C-alpha cells in the first residue's frame, strides 16, 4: 500500500480508503466488520462513513470492526448543516458518532453534502455547525474540519478561500473528470486534502465493462483503469472505494501498489470519447430514496443511466425497464414512476442537481407503453 500526505494536516493516509456506503447489509454486521478488518490488514487506514449510510448501519459496522483492529487508522464521518445547525447539536452529533464507532476522536469531520452556496453559508453562520465543530476541535473530539460537495470548481475555490477547511471530498471518476476537475484542482492548489468518492461511477463502470473498454489500456479492465485513475492522480489524496467482498479489496490494493498515472494523451483520448451526458449520470448515492409515494427513485435513476451512457433508444429503454421490472432491480417496487406527484423532495436531496422529476415522467411513458 502507498501512502500520501493529506493536505497540510501532517497525516499520511493510504491512497485507497474504505468508503462505508456500500456494505452488503443482507449480511450479518460481524461479517461486514470482518471485511473492514481485512482491508486494514492490507494497509488501508482511512475509513469513511456517515450517519444513515447503509440504512444507518455503517457507523455501527465500523464500530464492531474497530473494537479489535490493530494499528493506527483514521476515521471520517459527517453531519448535515440543515439538521445539525447549532453548536450544541454539532457536539451531540460528534459524540454520537464517536460512541457508535468506539473511537476516542474523529480525525476528519465533514460538513456534509454542500450542494450550493446557501448550504455553505448556513453551515458557517455564527453559532451553527462549523462553530460547533471548531469547539469540538478545541476540545480534542475531532482533528480536522473538512467538507463534501458536488459543486463547481469556482464554488469549491470560494469555500476553500475562507481558510475554514483542510480538505474536501468530491465525486470524481474516469467518466466525469472533464466536468469535475476544476474542483479537484482548486482543492489541490489550496494545499488541501482531496478524497475522491464514487471512483467507479457508483458501480456503473464494473457493470458495463464491455461498453467502456475504451477507458482501459491493454491488459487491464475498465474497473482497474478507473481505480488507477483515482489512485494515481497527484491531485487526489485518497480514493474512497466501496467494498462488499475481499476480492474487491485485493483489486484496489493491487492498483495502489502498481498504479501508473495516466498521460495527458491518454486522458485526452478518453475525454474525446465522453459525452456531456456523463456529468448527468446518477452515482447511486441514494439520498433521493425518501419518496412520499414510495417510488424506488435510486433504482429508476440507475436504469436511466443506460440512456445517458450509451444513447439507448426509446424502444431499447422500454425493453430494459421491462426486464428490470420482471427480473432486475425494480422487482418488489411498491410504486412506479407514474405515481410521482412532483413534490420536489428528491431533487432537493440530489447532490448532483439532477432533473429527477422530468426523468420519472419519461420513464412513466415507457412503462405505460409496456402495460398490457
Domains and CATH numbers, the chain: 3-273 (3.20.20.100), 282-370 (no CATH)
pLDDT digits (tens, 9 = 90+) for 288-313: 989 999 999 988 998 898 888 888 89
Q: What is the mean pLDDT of residues 205-217?
A: 90
What count of residues does the chain have?
A: 372
Confidence of residue 8 (pLDDT cuts 50, 70, 90): very high
What cell does 257 get?
Answer: 501498489
Buried b / exposed e across 291-324, counting CB within 10 Å, b at 16+?
beeebbbbbbbbbbbbbbbeebeeeebbebbbeb
pTM, entire model: 0.83
Calculate the average pLDDT of the chain: 92
Whether 175 has a pLDDT exceeding 90, the answer reads: no
pLDDT-wise least confident of 195-204, 217-226, 270-279, 289-298? 270-279
CA distance 171 to 11: 22
342 — alpha (psi -120 to 50), left (phi > 0) or beta? left
Where do the DSSP E strands lie in the chain? 3-5, 12-14, 16-19, 46-48, 74-79, 106-114, 142-149, 167-171, 193-197, 238-242
pLDDT digits (tens, 9 = 90+) for 21-76: 989 999 999 999 999 999 999 999 999 999 989 999 999 999 999 998 988 999 99
What cell does 181 get?
Answer: 476537475
Q: What is the mean pLDDT of residues 107-131?
A: 94
Q: What is the dihedral of CA 150, 169, 309, 263, to 10 degrees?
A: 120
Residue 207, pLDDT score: 86
What single-letter DSSP state applies at residue 354? -
Nearest of 362, 247, 343 to residue 303 by alpha carbon: 362
User: With 0-12 CB in 10 A as exposed, 13-18 as middle and 19+ as buried, what is 70?
Assistant: exposed
- Rounded to 5 degrees, what are φ and ψ at 12? -105, 125
What cell does 344 get?
Answer: 420536489
pLDDT digits (tens, 9 = 90+) for 335-370: 999 999 999 999 998 888 899 999 999 999 999 988
Amino acid at each position: 500500500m502507498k501512502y500520501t500526505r493529506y493536505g497540510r494536516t501532517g497525516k499520511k493516509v493510504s491512497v485507497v480508503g474504505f468508503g462505508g456506503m456500500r456494505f452488503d447489509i443482507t449480511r450479518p454486521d460481524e461479517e461486514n466488520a470482518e471485511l473492514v478488518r481485512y482491508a486494514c490488514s492490507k494497509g488501508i487506514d482511512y475509513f469513511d462513513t456517515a450517519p444513515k449510510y447503509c440504512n444507518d448501519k455503517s457507523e455501527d459496522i465500523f464500530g464492531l470492526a474497530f473494537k479489535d483492529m490493530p494499528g493506527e487508522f483514521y476515521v471520517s464521518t459527517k453531519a448535515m448543516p440543515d439538521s445539525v445547525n447549532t453548536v450544541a447539536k454539532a457536539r451531540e452529533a460528534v459524540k454520537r458518532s464517536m460512541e457508535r464507532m468506539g473511537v476516542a476522536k474523529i480525525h476528519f469531520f465533514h460538513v456534509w453534502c454542500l450542494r450550493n452556496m446557501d448550504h455553505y453559508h448556513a453551515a458557517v453562520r455564527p453559532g451553527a455547525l462549523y462553530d460547533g465543530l471548531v469547539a469540538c476541535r478545541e476540545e480534542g473530539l475531532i482533528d480536522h474540519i473538512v467538507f463534501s460537495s458536488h459543486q463547481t470548481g469556482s464554488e469549491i475555490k470560494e469555500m476553500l478561500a475562507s481558510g475554514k477547511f483542510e480538505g474536501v471530498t468530491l465525486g470524481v471518476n474516469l467518466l466525469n473528470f472533464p466536468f469535475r476537475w476544476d474542483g479537484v484542482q482548486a482543492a489541490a492548489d489550496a494545499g488541501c486534502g482531496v478524497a475522491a468518492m464514487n471512483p467507479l461511477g457508483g458501480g456503473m463502470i464494473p457493470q458495463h465493462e464491455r461498453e467502456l473498454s475504451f477507458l482501459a489500456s491493454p491488459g487491464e479492465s475498465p474497473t482497474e483503469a478507473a481505480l488507477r485513475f483515482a489512485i494515481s492522480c497527484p491531485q487526489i489524496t485518497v480514493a474512497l472505494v466501496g467494498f462488499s467482498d475481499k476480492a474487491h479489496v485485493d483489486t484496489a490494493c493491487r492498483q495502489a501498489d502498481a498504479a501508473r498515472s495516466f498521460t495527458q494523451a491518454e486522458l485526452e483520448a478518453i475525454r474525446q470519447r465522453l459525452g456531456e451526458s456523463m456529468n448527468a449520470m446518477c452515482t447511486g448515492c441514494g439520498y433521493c430514496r425518501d419518496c412520499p409515494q414510495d417510488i424506488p427513485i435510486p433504482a429508476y435513476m440507475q436504469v436511466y443511466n443506460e440512456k445517458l451512457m450509451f444513447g439507448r433508444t426509446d424502444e431499447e429503454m422500454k425493453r430494459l425497464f421491462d426486464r428490470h421490472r420482471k427480473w432486475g432491480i425494480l422487482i418488489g417496487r411498491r410504486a412506479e414512476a407514474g405515481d410521482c406527484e412532483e413534490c420536489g423532495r428528491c431533487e432537493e436531496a440530489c447532490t448532483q442537481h439532477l432533473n429527477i422529476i422530468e426523468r420519472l415522467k419519461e420513464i412513466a411513458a415507457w412503462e405505460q407503453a409496456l402495460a398490457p
